Structure 1
Amino acid sequence: MEISNSEKAAAIQNSIETSTLSQIGLINPKSYKQHNVNVADGFDAILALHDLMPMEKVYTNVIRAFQDGDIGFVHVDYYLFEPTVAFDIHRFENGLSVEHWDNLQTNPKRVNKSGRTMVDGKTKAIDHHLTEENKKLASTFVNDVLVGKNFDKAQDYFNGDVLIQHNPNMGDGVSEFIKVLKDEEQIYTSVHRVLGEGNFVLVLSEGYMENLHCAFYDLYRIENNKIIEHWDVIEEIPSLENQKNTNGKF
């Protein structure tokens, strides 16, 4: 029985802890395009990276797993070289992953002002018949409010000030979200990809945070056509001369 793309993506990431990536046979060993610009292209580069990890400390815990067509994407609590939270995305052809994107951030291992961690909260997608509608809502919000800086329009995408927040530097609430984005000089310049399953939508964006070139992966949970919950992972994008492949972050 063929497993789903979300299950395959989860299995690939979980195999880091068990050192079984070669055995599970879910990555194309001859054609694997890498968008983590800190890792060289190809399957062998992944195996070499895993060999450097402190395996006595390494763990992987896939918290959320979704799929969108030929894409499987997961939200993971890791210990790799340090406590880490990440989103990993795999594109599958003929049952095998042939392309990978990710975004990683150090996990502070503390709760935010509202007592939430970077990974707790709802995990299961519902409202699968609304996937495209929810993708459009989240995409329009990011393009209109965050990229377009039309912060006065934020009220159109939320139920009042209600927002369950998992960013470690923020508390709950829409007003808090917008205020911290401004205070931390988190500037969105473009949206590159929108993935969704049911009421969960992941938006991949580019921009700057305190003048550092960054990738923003924002996961939104939507309820009754309003954004209700938010998780994110932010990672600095190294300069071109320091990137280990030429495929680009996005």
Structure 2
Amino acid sequence: MRPLTRTLAGALALSTVLLVGEPAMAASRPAVTAARAEASQISRSKALVTDFTQRLYNRHDLSAIDAYLDADFTQHDPRIADGPTGLRAYLTAQNAAHPDAYLSVKRVIAEGNLVAVHSNLVLDPGTRGYSVLDLYRLSGGKIVEHWDTTQEVPATTVSGNDMFSTLSSPQVSRPDPSAPTALNKQLVTDMYKQVFVDKDVTAFDRYVVDPYYQHNPGFANGIQAAKDGISGMFSAFPGFHSDTYRVIAEGDLVVLQSRGTFTSDMAQGVFDIYRVRNGKVVEHWDIVQNVPSTSSNDNSMF
């Protein structure tokens, strides 16, 4: 009787565990399903924008405008008139002036209906070209809105780093799908607010870890260099303030769009890209463009 009793008791215990665990497993299924659906949507959005980019800028195929842009497409690049016709006219002129222009995509980051593409645009082969961040908003399988900043790639940088490579480990440009997206997004948002809104440069000590790899051409690597450089900017422009417009994150990469206002007639549009590893910022890229006094459209850069 004893072996049978032990067997029966074990079976009852196992059934109890299974019955108790079943509601928890059932409750987790919708979350897993939602996460998979979101990942699938992000993958489709990135594929759409990547194909649009390759066709438009590397094959010079302007039919991509008709295929991918919504009829009510909104343009925020101050050089380009609004709508699909504005982009077509701008690229027609650019392709005529620079028939061998090409674009090299460095990283693509997406969240929700937003896709950010960091790339090197070279108008004439043999030149360094430009660092560009294009941000696209999608709806109904079409691109409905676009923001960007463009910065000329300099001959040298203070750190010795270029504006595009990944130097922190692992040296891959794609987002890490296992990294905690939401936590990394909040970490960067908090750091940026404390540094650039509250003007507390000691926040770098709390959120960043050395070796901190810097791709801004004017900064050296490391936490102290960042603190010194930003402190100097605040001293030179005591009225400086920053406004954040959008933050998107995928895995270990976070993109933040902002406007930095130095004086009443001097402002810059900025896209910052931060890489977060193990709860600390380890690498930074940015693309900075002066906000012009006039624009070819009425939508502002933001």
Q: Normalising by the residue count of structure 1, what TM-score does the alignment of the two structures yield? A: 0.90
What residue identity is the alignment partner of 1:125?
A: P
Alpha-carbon displacement from aligned partner over 1:103-126 (angstroms, at most 9, x marks no partner): 11111143x233210011140111
1:176 aligns with 2:225: yes
Alignment of 1:115-194 (within 5 A): 115-121=160-166, 122-128=172-178, 130-159=180-209, 161-184=210-233, 185=236, 187-194=240-247
The aligned counterpart of 1:246 is 298
Aligned partners of 2:201, 2:268: CA distance in 1, in Å? 21
Aligned partners of 1:72, 1:128: CA distance in 2, in Å? 19
The one of 135, 149, 158 equivalent to 1:103 is: 149
- Is the contact between residue 84 and residue 107 of structure 1 (CA under 8 Å) also seen in structure 2? yes
* CA radius of gyration, larger in: 2
Gaps of 5+ in 1: none
Aligned partners of 1:150, 1:63: CA distance in 2, in Å? 31
- Is the contact between residue 5 and residue 92 of structure 1 (CA under 8 Å) also seen in structure 2? yes
The aligned counterpart of 2:21 is none
Q: CA 1:207 to 1:128, structure 2 compared with 1: closer, same or farther past 3 Å?
A: same
Alpha-carbon displacement from aligned partner over 1:60-98 (angstroms, at most 9, x marks no partner): 001101211111111010024871111101111111101
Aligned partners of 2:180, 2:138: CA distance in 1, in Å? 23
What residue identity is the alignment partner of 1:191?
A: T
The aligned counterpart of 2:266 is 212
Higher relative contact order (CA 8 A, sep 6+): 1
The aligned counterpart of 1:225 is 279
What residue identity is the alignment partner of 2:257?
A: L
For the residue of structure 1 that corresponds to 2:211, the secondary structure is: coil
The aligned counterpart of 2:49 is 9
- Is the contact between residue 108 and residue 118 of structure 2 (CA under 8 Å) also seen in structure 1? yes
Matched residues, number: 246
1:29, distance to aligned residue in structure 2 (A): 4.5
Alpha-carbon displacement from aligned partner over 1:26-71 (angstroms, at most 9, x marks no partner): 4235110111122111011111111121333411001101211111
Structure with greater proportional helix content? 2
What residue identity is the alignment partner of 2:142?
A: L
For the residue of structure 2 that corresponds to 1:101, the secondary structure is: strand
Gaps of 5+ in 2: 1-39, 167-171
